[in-house]
Structure 1
Amino acid sequence: MASGKANGCKVAAPSFIEAIAFCPFENAENLVAIASRNRLCVGLCKFNLPESNAEQDYRSFGGGLLEEYSMVLNVDVSDINCIAWSPTSNMKHLPRSVVMGAGTKGGVVNIYTADVKENSETEESSINAHKDCVNDLAFEPVEGQELATVSDDMTCKVWEVESGEMCCSFPLQYPGVSVCWHPSQPGKFMVAESGGRIRFYDFASKQAVLSVDCKKQCLTSADWCWLNQSKVGASADMEWYLWDITKSSYPLESQQSHNGVCGKMLWSKHHEDVFLTLGGPKNAVKIYHLGHRQPILYKMHDTSACASWHRTLPICAVAGNQAVHFYDVTVLTQF
């Protein structure tokens, strides 16, 4: 098993992290949100990436990668299962603001809005979105006026953010596990079901326009590559699956990634041929490059239920026990 070397560091975090997400939008790309069982925290990261890491030795959580980490939002919440960023979040211009959505295990979706200044209050609005656990949610990535959600109640719903009114609802055959919009495909979003089917919907027509299937009734996650709209990936059972949706509805490639359940697959937002998986039985994170059969990074953590990629940097954040681990994979992806 290959286990590449990468510059890494960690910051303290709550004991059990339910969800973690870098902001994928330009005006707030250095913000990372961390949701635990009773807290929602947002940190501002400043990274120290030299021009070339080629001669650097691996420093096991050693400093150097994270130049500064400061908290900009810390809210008492509970029951969070998933989080998503709105493109209206902004740290580059005044007034600086954070806008996020959080799906709960009870089916409620909360939207948090806060000005990033001392002693500012966080506004919260709630939508009784589903009858069961909300497994994923995603804002429309251009204007952020719509929010798509999927749930164990076997529905996908799209909401008008400002009013909280439902725009449309799509029945699913199995619980929904992932939903995402694509920045270069306005009005289209992807919905993945645990039964193995991944559908693509057009919001304007309220119709499914395409579907792919991994033929396994144990799909745990799916992701639509932001850098190449033809690439879709998923995790199911112990494997990852890859599609080129412009060529075939059948997977182009699949591979066993873990000896236990492969719980998550996420494309890098820095390199279109790089993705990570999380899985058991020993809470492993593995990073793959499509040019290589073996993972280019392989690490164990006490907990690794969630991870996220930075929007423009070759950095991923992985949840650990009372810590978030940041990895710089620059060297590993220079092929």
Structure 2
Amino acid sequence: LPQKLNSYTVPCDDYVHVVEFSPFDSGSAALLAYGGNQYVVVGTCRFQEEDMEVEGVEFTTLRVFHHALRVDCLAWSPESRLDKLPQLIRFCTAAADRKVRLLTSDLQNQHEVKVMEGHTSYINHLVFEPTEGKQIASVSDDHTSLGSLMVAEKKGTIRFYDLVTQQAILSLDCGQSPLMSADWCLSNTIKVGAVTGSDWVIWDITRSSYPQEKRPAHVERAGNFRWSRVNENLFSTTGCPGKISSQLLVHHLGHPQPVMIGSATVGAGLSWHRSLPLCVIGGDRKLSFWMTEM
């Protein structure tokens, strides 16, 4: 399969450590946030595939949020809306000081940062409760999780917790480690995927605690796994950030080989558009977007 140059590029002022499309309907063009060393840029993205008047990609910056430290992970709130007044942007971040920051803006003159403490070690991931956004789950190396849903452990185990009782109700086993990234398929919730070592693995949680499918993906260790939001059989993986041989791969469960190989030195972050078969990765002063022909 030939390597494919990225479909679109948006230049940035700094190395991009985190990039996330909002997975929620914000009533407008897709919301996208990316984080650098001391800031988060929030904007909207439009692509020629959805708007005839756009040539390639059109990124419009809505606001730049100052952030005391480098952004390590970022999650969107379902409350973010651009089609109602007042407009609302809300997301949370985690950084090396082990604090979660909830950032809220009406894109006019109301801007608020709420700092939440409680973790004693590095925070690996954040997610909002997806219907109203009133709870945030955060998972840390200190092995505490605040209202967790699905928690993937580096040693190769994925556990699901009941939010009310906080008891583990299901666990999945990779059979190998390190497990670097896992994602729950929102368009078909019996599917869970992950990258472990240099392989991707996928479970059907109704059938077994061991993976249904497993295939080698990357020459060196894999870094990220994310499901597409428009096709339950489509997902992407990346190798470890910064390595020359590190690639973006797009896979389809009906195909034995990757359906697309993105030729770029992979930066940090990997996210899918909520309604297009398009994913984005961050890198050195740029965002790179790949459209998958499916």
Pairwise same-fold verdict (TM > 0.5):
yes
Tell me how far apart the structure 2 counterparts of residues 32 and 50 of structure 1 sit (CA, whole Å).
16
Matches of 2:24 and 2:123, distance apart in 1: 23
1:145-160 residue pairs with structure 2 within 5 A?
Answer: 145-158=134-147
What is the aligned partner in structure 2 of residue 97 from structure 1?
88
Deviation at 1:6, TM superposition (A): 7.6
SS of corresponding position for 1:157: coil
Which runs of 5 or more structure 1 residues have no equivalent in the other structure?
52-62, 159-178, 180-188
CA deviations over 1:134-154 (Å, ceiling 9, x no partner): 110000000111100011212
Task: Flag as ranges the 4+ runs of structure 1 deviating above 3 A.
Answer: 3-7
* 1:142 matches 2:102: no
Gaps of 5+ in 2: none
Cα shift readout 1:20-75 (whole Å, capped 9, x = no counterpart): 10000012561100011111011111122169xxxxxxxxxxx8331x21101201
Q: Measure the CA separation in 1 of the matches of 2:266 and 2:15.
A: 8
Contact in 2 for aligned 1:284/1:304 (Cα 8 Å): no
Which of 202, 210, 215 is the matching residue for 2:162? Answer: 202
Q: Which residue of 1 aligns with 2:60?
A: 70
Matching residue within 109, 131, 156 for 2:100: 109
| Match of residue 192, structure 2, among 222, 232, 238 | 232
Q: Give the RMSD, CA atoms, in angstroms.
A: 1.9
Question: CA deviation digits over 1:63-114, x for unaligned, max 9?
Answer: 8331x21101201212321000011111121111100000111210000000
Which residue of 284, 303, 315 maps to 2:247? 284
Tell me how far apart the structure 1 counterparts of residues 16 and 78 of structure 2 sit (CA, whole Å): 23
- Out of 240-249 and 19-28, give the one that drifted further: 19-28
SS at match of 2:145: strand
Residues 72 and 95 of structure 2 are in contact (CA less than 8 Å); yes or no, is this contact kept in structure 1? Answer: yes
- C-alpha deviations, 1:278-312, integer Å up to 9, x for none? 10442210000111111111123233221100111
Q: What is the distance in 2 between the residues matched to 1:11 and 1:235?
A: 27
State whether residues 129 and 136 of structure 2, in contact with CA within 8 Å, keep that contact through their aligned partners in structure 1: yes
SS at match of 1:80: coil
Select the structure that is richer in strand. Answer: 1
Q: Report the count of equivalent residues.
A: 288
What's the % identity of the aligned pairs? 35
Q: 1:23·1:85 contact (CA, 8 Å) conserved in 2?
A: yes
Deviation by residue 1:109-129 (Cα, 9 ceiling, x = unmatched): 000000023xx3421000113
The answer to whether the 8 A contact 1:279-1:304 is kept is no
Secondary structure of 1:131's aligned partner: coil
2:207 to 242, 247, 261: 247
Q: Aligned equivalents of 1:249 and 1:14: distance in 2?
A: 44
Distance 1:223 1:10 in 2: 25
- Is the Cα contact below 8 Å between 1:278 and 1:304 reproduced in 2? no
Q: Is contact 2:79–2:90 with CA below 8 Å preserved after alignment?
A: yes
Q: Is the 8 A contact 1:301 1:321 kept in 2?
A: no
Counterpart mapping for 1:181-192 below 5 A:
189-192=149-152
What is the match of residue 37 of structure 2?
Answer: 37
Q: Distance in 1 between matches of 2:193 and 2:4?
A: 25
Relative to structure 1, the CA distance from residue 247 to residue 327 in structure 2 (aligned partners, 3 Å threshold; closer, same or farther) is: same
Secondary structure at the counterpart of residue 27 of structure 1: coil
- What is the DSSP-based 3-state SS (H/G/I as helix, E as strand, rest coil) of the residue aligned with 2:17? strand
Native 8 Å contact 2:17 2:283 kept in 1: no
TM-score scaled by structure 2?
0.93
Superimposed CA distance per residue, residues 152-197 of structure 1 (whole angstroms, 9 cap, x where no aligned partner): 2122123xxxxxxxxxxxxxxxxxxxx7xxxxxxxxx211010111
Counterpart pick for 1:302 among 235, 259, 265: 265
Is the alpha carbon distance of 1:311 and 1:50 closer, same or farther for their aligned partners in structure 2, counting shifts above 3 Å?
A: closer
CA contact (8 A) 1:6 1:328 kept: no
- Paired letter, 2:174: C
The structural deviation recorded for 1:5 is 5.1
Give TM-score, length-normalised by structure 1: 0.82
Question: In structure 1, what residue type is equivalent to 2:33?
Answer: A
1:185-243: per-residue Cα shift (whole Å, max 9, x none)? xxxx2110101110111112221111101022300010000100000000111011000
Contact 1:216 1:236 in 2 (8 A): yes
> Residues 7 and 109 from structure 1, CA distance in 2 versus in 1: closer, same or farther, beyond 3 angstroms?
closer
1:17 aligned partner: 16
Say which SS state the counterpart of residue 146 (structure 2) adopts: strand
Matched to 1:135, the amino acid is N
Of 199, 216, 220, the residue aligned with 1:256 is 216
